[in-house]
Amino acid sequence: MTSVAERIPPQETSLHNAADITYDEKDDASYVMSESEAEISLVSDYDMTEDYDKLAFLHVDDELAEDHALLTETHGESGGENTENELKKNDSGAASGIVDFLIRHEIPRKVFHSLHGFETLGLYILGWTKFDAARVVWSLFALVFANDVIRLNFPSFNESVLPFFRHFMRDHEAKLWNGVVFYLAGAGLVLSFAPKDIAVMSIMLLSWADTAASTVGRAFGKYTPSVGKGKSLAGCLASALTGLCVCYFFYGYVVPTYPDVNRPDELLWSAETSRLNIHVYALITAIITSFSELVNIGEIDDNFTIPVLCALGLSAVAYAAKF
């Protein structure tokens, strides 16, 4: 392409008048327009304000067509189906990840464990006697115990029933006694021999304080000193705090709210019959709860030792403080 200076006659290109020169390509007979300049001229002469949207849509359609051609070339005609399958796999993987997270942190087991406390509290509010509750617990114990005897002696039966209970059991319980056996045994004992309020308290402490200790201990135990085999200071403090709250909740709210479910002689501790006020008794409950969580008696499961030790400790303190 020739420059503007080359197209102007030499006699007119002096420095004196160069700034005043005007040049029109159409008036120059020697000017030849290139193809690209012709296209530019054509577009500049076109009324863009009228059909700009049409050109834009054509450009977008071209881009979509190119994308579609690239997708077809890469994945074939089934490219869309492959993409949909990949999305389904991603969704399935996310769901599987959630399930793995729940199992790894024993969430189903902890929820199941916590429900026992609500069940016991519900039966208390409904007016069940502790002997009625004990009969139900011992009946369930017989069924679960028989199931474990068969399960542990017949591997094929064990493999067939484990999928139904695996999420509520720890891995080592697959070939050992189920923790539910020990829970039912401990709950049955305290319901059979401890005073009514002490029995209800002991089961709620097992259900909620043990769960709190396990949850907090797993999350924060590594930041606190160890206070026993598999026990951390964080877990013990969580257990104590839960025991404190359970005592206030039961004796400070539940018992006064539902006075008709108890006979006068069924409550071992009450503000009217004890030298200990509720604040002192709640603090002692916290200490007993944490101690029962910390103690390991041989290989006995804590689902048995916690309610039994809590019942013994709370009963001893309540008896000693009676007027």
Residue-wise pLDDT tens digits, 181-214 = 999 999 999 999 999 999 999 999 999 999 999 9
Dihedral angle at the C-alpha atoms of 197, 203, 208, 211, nearest 10 degrees? Answer: 160
- 305: region left, alpha or beta (phi > 0 left; psi from -120 to 50 alpha): alpha
* Judgement on whether residues 210 and 276 belong to the same structural domain of the protein: yes
| pLDDT value at residue 31 | 46
CA distance 242 to 254: 16
* Judgement on whether residues 21 and 112 belong to the same structural domain of the protein: no
* Judgement on whether residues 157 and 19 belong to the same structural domain of the protein: no
User: Which residue segment(s) compose the domain that 142 sits in?
Assistant: 106-320
* Judgement on whether residues 114 and 241 belong to the same structural domain of the protein: yes
CA distance 159 to 174: 9
| pLDDT value at residue 299 | 82
Q: Is residue 136, in this structure, part of any structural domain at all?
A: yes
Name, in order, each residue with C-beta under 8 angstroms of 310's C-beta and a sequence gap of 6 or more: 201, 202, 205, 206, 288, 289, 292
* Judgement on whether residues 16 and 147 belong to the same structural domain of the protein: no
Q: Is residue 51, in this structure, part of any structural domain at all?
A: no
- For the chain, how many residues are written? 323
**Local mean pLDDT, 10-residue blocks, the chain (323 residues):** 47 45 49 47 46 45 50 50 58 60 62 89 96 96 92 83 65 74 96 97 97 92 90 95 98 96 91 96 98 90 95 98 91
Q: Within 10 A of 235 (CB to CB), how many other CB atoms are there? A: 28
* Judgement on whether residues 231 and 315 belong to the same structural domain of the protein: yes
Q: Is the torsion defined by CA of 7, 8, 10, 16 positive or negative?
A: negative
| pLDDT value at residue 8 | 47
The count of structural domains within the chain is 3
Please choose, from the candidates 239, 219, 221, the residue with its C-alpha nearest in 3D space to the C-alpha of residue 295. Answer: 239
Name, in order, each residue with C-beta under 8 angstroms of 4's C-beta and a sequence gap of 6 or more: 23
Name, in order, each residue with C-beta under 8 angstroms of 164's C-beta and a sequence gap of 6 or more: none
- What's this model's pTM, rounded to 2 decimal places? 0.68
| pLDDT value at residue 82 | 59
| Structural contact between residues 241 and 286, judged by C-beta atoms closer than 8 angstroms | yes
Q: Is residue 52, in this structure, part of any structural domain at all?
A: no
| pLDDT value at residue 91 | 56
Name, in order, each residue with C-beta under 8 angstroms of 123's C-beta and a sequence gap of 6 or more: 133
Q: Which helix (H) or strand (E) holds 232?
A: strand 231-232
* Judgement on whether residues 134 and 212 belong to the same structural domain of the protein: yes
Name, in order, each residue with C-beta under 8 angstroms of 71's C-beta and a sequence gap of 6 or more: 79, 80
Q: What is the mean pLDDT of the chain?
A: 78
* Judgement on whether residues 187 and 215 belong to the same structural domain of the protein: yes
* Judgement on whether residues 293 and 214 belong to the same structural domain of the protein: yes
Please choose, from the candidates 168, 204, 166, 169, the residue with its C-alpha nearest in 3D space to the C-alpha of residue 187. Answer: 204
* Judgement on whether residues 96 and 122 belong to the same structural domain of the protein: no
Dihedral angle at the C-alpha atoms of 247, 249, 254, 256, nearest 10 degrees? Answer: 80
Beta 231-232 vs 226-228: how paired, if at all?
antiparallel
* Judgement on whether residues 218 and 257 belong to the same structural domain of the protein: yes
Structure tokens that stand for 267 in this block: 């409550």
Q: Is residue 300, in this structure, part of any structural domain at all?
A: yes
Structure tokens that stand for 129 in this block: 């006697």
* Judgement on whether residues 208 and 153 belong to the same structural domain of the protein: yes
